[in-house]
Amino acid sequence: METMNRKRIAYFSINDPLDKRSWSGITYYLGQTLQKNIGEVDFLGPVPIPWVLDKTLRGMAKFARLVFKTEYIPKYSLLKNVYASLYLRRKMRGRHYDFLLAPAAASELAYCRTRLPIIYFGDATYQLYSTFYKKEFENLNAFSRWEGNFLERKALRKSALVILTSQWASQSAIRDYGVSADKIEIMQFGANIDQVPSRNIIFKKEENPVLTLFFLSVDWERKGGDIAFDALKHLHEQGIPAKLIVCGCTPPPGISHPGLEVIPFLNKNDAADFNTFVGLFSSVHFLLLPTRADCTPVVNSEANAYGVPVITTDVGGVAGTVQDGINGYCLPFAAGGAEYATRIATIYADKAGYHRLIESSRARFDEELNWEKWAENFARILAAHQL
């Protein structure tokens, strides 16, 4: 990457930017990338919400549930986000920055008063979240929905630059919030890993004699766990003794199979758990995520770092990361376990073709889906927008 003057960056996050669990690790790895490649980062989060405010918002949510039979989400409350803006603004007082960067903090940005150029980075808009993520938003209170959209619009419009991870998200920002297309840039996430795996590791999976699928998610239902399990059963029916490793969640009662292994939780902050995570990615043949609703899953980039192809769904912003025949395949939303099993079996049966897919999956990581490349692209965008 070309050398550039080190920037002074206000890193505006409501969660802990030094915790690898914040926003699936993106807040942490993005912050470290900026510190290494772009400039001096002032980590302004997390924001401790006062007990009184937290109790008030929880009371509002309980009142809405009991009286109106609807859900109120404190996260998108005007009260909470006015407080967050004031708190973060207070931490910035007396310090000098070149710009303010806010990862996934549109709500908190809405009431931030600053003369600094604001750069917002996210993978979806509130409109997409609230219509796409049924479980959290399906019975949403009308006022809470209004608050979320109001905060999003206010934040996106005051941002000098809006960086999103897909055309899907970009189109929503333009269509739903009136954001000017010329201030939107599209950039992919990097892989949230501390050390890039050696290229020698990526071919170790070919020594594993059992076709092994990896379902890595904290949400069984939304990520299509039932379909992944159905794919496992169909593979066995075809005479292929496959294995499905579920990591990050526990399948519902009644989900059991000799080829199913469950690892409920791994903490990447813990060295032993992280080594287990590395071992898994070094031995599995496919990341299988038949997701029902998603933005841009960073786990796809992590899989490709290990040369693991991703078999997933063409939904949300997923296809921006996973390109058919390059680093995996996106199946139609309507595809069931049988279709996933057939696609996996066909790819795996062609050993030479599968070997090439390992190579091209890793190449996709090397060329685009890593944080060093993100920093290179970000530096270019800063220059283009004169920030």
Q: What percent of the chain has pLDDT over 70?
A: 99
Beta strands in the chain (DSSP E): 7-11, 39-43, 99-103, 118-122, 161-164, 184-186, 212-216, 243-247, 260-263, 286-289, 310-313, 328-331
For the cut 80, the answer to whether the pLDDT of residue 268 exceeds it is no
Residues 223, 174: one domain?
Answer: no
Number of domains comprising the chain: 2
pLDDT at 4: 64
State the amino acid at position 59 in one-letter form.
G
pLDDT above 60: residue 1: no
- Rounded to 5°, the CA angle 204-265-106 comes to 105
CB-CB contact of 147 with 130 (8 Å): no
Buried b (16+ CB within 10 A) or exposed e, 252-279: eeeeeeebbeebeebebeeeeebeebbe
Whether the predicted model's global pTM rises above the 0.85 cut: yes
Tell whether 292 and 333 lie within a shared domain. Answer: yes
CATH number at residue 314: 3.40.50.2000
pLDDT higher than 70, residue 3: no
Please compute the mean of the pLDDT values over residues 222-245 and round it to a whole number: 97
175: pLDDT strictly greater than 70: yes
Tell me the average pLDDT across 189-199. 89
Q: Structural domain of residue 148, as residue ranges?
A: 7-190+370-384
Residues 378 and 274 reside in one and the same domain: no
Residue 195 lies in a domain: no
Write the pLDDT tens digit of every residue in 141-159: 999 999 999 999 999 999 9
Please tell me whether residues 92 and 77 are part of one structural domain: yes
Q: What is the mean pLDDT of residues 226-240?
A: 97
Q: Is the pLDDT of residue 2 over 60?
A: no
Question: Cα–Cα distances in Å, from 382 out to 118, 161, 348, 373, 376?
Answer: 12, 9, 43, 14, 10
Q: Which among 225, 227, 230, 231 is positioned nearest to 246, based on CA atoms?
A: 225
* Pairwise CA distance, residues 233 & 255, whole Å: 11
pLDDT in tens, 294-305: 999 999 999 999
Q: CA-to-CA distance for 294 and 276, rounded, in angstroms?
A: 26
Q: Which of 88-92, 165-169, 241-245 has the lowest mean pLDDT?
A: 88-92
CA distance 322 to 309: 9
